[in-house]
Amino acid sequence: MTSPWFKSLSSVFGLKPRIKSLLLLILGLVALVTILAPLSSTSYDASTSSTLVPNVYSSYRRIKEQAAVDYLDLRSLSLGTTLKEFPLCGKERESCVPCYNSTENLLAGLQEGDVLDRHCEFEREKERCVVRPPRDYKIPLRWPLGRDIIWNGNVKITKDQFLSSGTVTTRLMLLEENQIAFHSEDGLIFDGVKDYARQIAEMIGLGSDTEFAQAGVRTVLDIGCGFGSFGAHLVSLNLMPICIAEYEATGSQVQLALERGLPAMIGSFFSKQLPYPALSFDMVHCAQCGITWDIKADAMLLLEVDRVLKPGGYFVLTSPTNKAQGNSPDTKKTSITTRVNELSKKICWSPIGQQDETFLWQKTADSNCCSSRSQDSIPLCKDGDSAPYYHPLVPCISGTTSKRWIPIQNRTTSAELEIHELWRTALKNYWSLLTPLIFSDHPKRPGDEDPLPPFNMIRNVMDMNARFGNLNSALLDQEKSAWVMNVVPVNARNTLPLILDRGFAGVLHNWCEPFPTYPRTYDMLHANELLTHVSSERCSLMDLFLEMDRILRPEGWVVISDKVGVIEMARALATRVRWEARVIDLQDVICSKQIQTMPPAIAL
């Protein structure tokens, strides 16, 4: 009886003579290496083992990686499959953001703010193609220089738009030839962001903005962040701001913030809930964010702020009154502040400070406050800890019965206590081993002997299946100057509350749909067993890879860790989107550190 191994081998060698000879040669070399590698490890004196073992091990690991690549090549040859590269998209899709098509939304009968909102259900099927960068696109400058200087060809803001945007813009930005320079704290001119942050800290009762963390403020949702000046200052204070702003066809706030290396994503604040669970942020900030909070009689916009705000958290509203239309400044100021104050009483907020045109409210830390109100007050929601994904806004108060109702001033020092200790340790060790493979101290490029990206070229990182945020934790432990957008798939275990409680950036997302960001906004993508998850959701892996390519910057990096069969498919799809792939057998590396059952990975 013929063994299955022999049948498999026969299927490989049932090829043309030339291919058969090539396969025999490659397999012979692999077998020779397999035999000689153990012999070479014992052929030197024990006294020199401390210096030779790393070199031998490194060479052996690299040979194993090449053997894995050769195996995938042989399998493709045996199947007779030659995958064609996806064509390049036209110029009209260079800055396209799927699911944000105002023309199609108007044709669908949407009105007001819904036109600019996210509507993937109206997205028409388009040709599968690779989105190419603009002709004048340049690789961003390295952090932290890239925070203050960006290439104007990388963003959708023209010189005419810049010059017509008013004095506020010209104070924040300088347009010089092909660069946009932002004023920073180190510059001769400063826009007052530091003084503004100190003003907010004083209203809270702090001596300085450096004491925000002492008041329990670690994560800030910055609505309509402008050019990211406030967020950049918060980053310098080791806080985690997340900018959200609606989709803009030109001059996008989100695109500018991401180009500067600041956390941001597209998010409309009009008719749908944000993709965050209840009780997510320590502070919500709105400075000239363009939202009229009293526009809806049922207070649903303010209720959405209350939903994502943690107990004891703060809502900061800065609204200049000197641009009122049709009313005097005093009338406009009175109407807004009076209306918000009336609504704040109904949801157990307390006004705790006002300086100039900045107002500050604090959410109650007492969960019984809402239930003890009068019967004609805003009702309580019955959704518990549900994680909404672009659900319609609701006219009720959320989170009062949640187990996560913990005032920010009483929060424990680490939310990691909720993670099973063994699982947490295994993941953390996994990332501590993976990050040296991803980050290098030397600026090498694909095609070099060991093509690893230098650590200071990686700033915007997305963990597409973040689990508990351990990649983020590993990067912080190794003091890498990168931030991570921790994405939790909507149908996976909802660990986003834990990620946000750790002070990390995160969001819910359905990977069967495009991610709400502009093209070329991330330096590195990581996907740990995401492809297996997407396949189980019966979504197209081809569309996922094209979406990953859309949001990845030129010369960016992708790390995929999954089952061997899935890695094989990933390598084939990587070829179609014009990526260079390198297969890494992480299991052997990790086993040397006494950790087991970790999947292989592919670096692209």
What is the distance between the alpha carbons of residues 120 and 127, in angstroms, rounded to a whole number?
16
CB-based contacts of 381, cutoff 8 Å, min separation 6:
394, 396, 397, 398, 399
What is the distance between the alpha carbons of residues 212 and 230, in angstroms, rounded to a whole number?
14
Burial string for 87-116 (b: 16+ CB within 10 Å, else e) reads eebeeebbbbbbbbbeeebeeeebeeebbb
pLDDT per residue over 417-464, tens digit each? 444 444 555 555 555 556 565 555 444 444 444 444 455 578 999 999
Mapping DSSP onto H, E and C, the string for 201-269 reads HHHHCCCCHHHHHHHCCCEEEEECCCCCHHHHHHHHCCCEEEEEECCCCCCCHHHHHHHCCCCEEECCC
Q: What is the CATH number of domain 421-441+451-597?
A: 3.40.50.150
**DSSP at 378:** P
Average pLDDT over residues 468-474: 87
What is the distance between the alpha carbons of residues 62 and 592, in angstroms, rounded to a whole number?
15
Intervals of CATH 3.40.50.150 along the chain = 190-321+335-367+381-410, 421-441+451-597
pLDDT per residue over 58-79, tens digit each? 455 455 555 555 555 555 545 5
pLDDT per residue over 312-334, tens digit each? 999 999 876 544 444 444 444 44
What class has domain 190-321+335-367+381-410?
alpha beta
- State both tokens at 20: 């058969």
Q: Which of 47-51, 96-100, 224-228, 588-592 has the lowest mean pLDDT?
A: 588-592
Average pLDDT, the chain: 74
Residue 378: Cβ within 10 Å count: 20
pTM: 0.80
Kindly indicate the confidence band of residue 525, based on its pLDDT and cuts at 50, 70 and 90.
Answer: very high
